[in-house]
């Protein structure tokens, strides 16, 4: 299993250059995307409306919105908001040919989905790990409002992605031991998850190879206004569809954890349809 980052496909086929007015067809993916807002509304309903809390300098009479509770379910709903917004934006970017920017957003989608999975696993076990407890605490800690407050946090140790990913390995091990359908060797899960996370990090940090993805060997120019290869954009859209599948799985876990079983069944059915659609990347 490998990531397609920097795969060498002819980036400059004249006859196949991307027509930005025509979207590459992914019918099941598009249908799943159209359902995300409805699922989120159902999941978030028990936590609404939000409350207004004072924010900023007192003389400004400013405020920000906040959940009425600082709990695991509030955390996973907050993460879901960002995850759904990011996956939608990723598809907009890939349809316009902005493949590396799409990759940057897909890294965040994967991180949010992983965090949701970790927190819901901790709740389900009734015995959350120290990392899961700390992550919950840090999520609701107010952000610094000035440089001095931020400087005071310089010794704060934030929960790492690897510590949260331990939940994925426990879930994989649980399924493997019980011979659950489609279960995977947890050792393999650990290697693949960490590898893909490492590769998507390259987009965020502007790694050398991500700049090379945008070079057109025929024109000797960099494609900063959108990738010009239909084939390469299609490949990247399949990777985005794979991350959409990851996000849908995380939403299903939330629904189960909140006891919304009819909603969970609908999401899981859609997740299976997407998985079997042939629209996902073979690499994720």
Contact 80, 144 (CB under 8 A): no
Return the DSSP state at 145: S
Question: Mean pLDDT of all residues in the chain?
Answer: 89
Q: Tell me: pLDDT of 283 over 70.
A: no
The percent of residues in the chain predicted with pLDDT above 90, rounded, is 70
The Cα 256–Cα 155 span in angstroms is 37
Q: Which of 41, 53, 107, 49 is nearest to 80 (CA)?
A: 41
pLDDT interval class at 266 (50, 70, 90): very high
Q: pLDDT tens digits, residue range 232-257?
A: 999 999 999 999 999 999 999 999 99
DSSP symbol at 199: H
Residue 25 has what pLDDT?
80
- Structure tokens, 3: 């990531």
User: Of the candidates 39, 40, 67, 72, which has an alpha carbon nearest to the alpha carbon of residue 52?
Assistant: 67
**C-beta of residue 273 within 8 angstroms of C-beta of residue 28:** yes
What percent of the chain stands above pLDDT 70? 90
Average pLDDT over residues 94-121: 97
Q: Say if residue 2's pLDDT is above 50.
A: no
Among 118, 191, 123, 203, residue whose Cα is nearest residue 161: 118
List own/partner pairs for 122-125 with CB under 8 A and 24 or more apart: 122/72, 122/167, 123/72, 123/257, 124/257
Nearest to residue 214, comparing CAs of 232, 237, 234, 238? Answer: 232
Cβ pair 47, 74 in contact under 8 A:
yes
Please give the structure tokens belonging to residue 272: 């299976």
Cβ atoms of 267 and 252 within 8 Å: the answer is yes
Query: Dihedrals φ, ψ of 63, to 5°?
Result: -150, 165
Please, which residues have CB within 8 angstroms of residue 244's CB and are 6 or more apart in sequence?
29, 32, 33, 87, 91, 109, 274
R_g (Cα) of the chain, nearest Å: 20
- Whether the predicted pLDDT of 103 surpasses 80: yes
- pTM for this structure? 0.89
Q: What is the pLDDT of residues 3-41, one digit of tens each?
A: 565 554 444 444 344 444 445 689 999 999 999 999 999
- How big, in percent rounded to 5, are the helix, strand and coil portions of the chain? 60, 5, 35
Average pLDDT over residues 132-142: 95
The predicted model gives 187-211 an average pLDDT of: 93
pLDDT tens-digit readout, 139-186: 999 888 889 888 888 778 899 999 998 888 888 888 777 777 777 788
């Amino acid at each position: 299993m490998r990531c397609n980052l920097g795969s060498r496909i002819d980036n400059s086929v004249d006859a196949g250059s991307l027509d930005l007015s025509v979207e590459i067809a992914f019918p099941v993916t598009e249908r799943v995307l159209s359902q995300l807002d409805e699922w989120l509304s159902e999941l978030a309903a028990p936590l609404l409306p939000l409350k207004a809390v004072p924010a900023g300098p007192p003389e400004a009479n400013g405020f920000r919105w906040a959940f009425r509770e600082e709990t695991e379910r509030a955390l996973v709903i907050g993460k879901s908001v960002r995850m759904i917004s990011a996956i939608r934006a990723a598809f907009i970017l890939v349809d316009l040919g902005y493949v590396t920017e799409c990759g940057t957003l897909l890294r965040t989608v994967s991180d949010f989905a992983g965090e949701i999975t970790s927190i819901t696993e901790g709740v389900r076990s009734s015995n959350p790990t120290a990392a899961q407890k700390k992550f919950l605490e840090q999520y609701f800690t107010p952000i610094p409002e000035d440089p001095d407050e931020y400087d005071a946090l310089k010794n704060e140790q934030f929960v790492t992605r690897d510590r949260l990913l331990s939940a994925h390995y426990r879930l994989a091990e649980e399924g493997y031991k019980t011979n659950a359908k489609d279960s995977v060797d947890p050792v393999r899960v650990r290697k693949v998850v960490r590898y893909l996370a490492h590769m998507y990090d390259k987009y965020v940090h502007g790694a050398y190879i991500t700049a090379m993805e945008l070079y057109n060997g025929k024109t000797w120019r960099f494609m900063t206004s959108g990738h010009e290869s239909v084939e390469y954009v299609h490949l990247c859209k399949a990777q985005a569809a794979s991350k959409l599948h990851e996000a849908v799985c995380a939403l299903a876990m939330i629904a189960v954890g909140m006891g919304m079983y009819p909603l969970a069944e609908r999401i899981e059915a859609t997740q299976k349809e997407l998985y079997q659609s042939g629209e996902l990347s073979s690499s994720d």
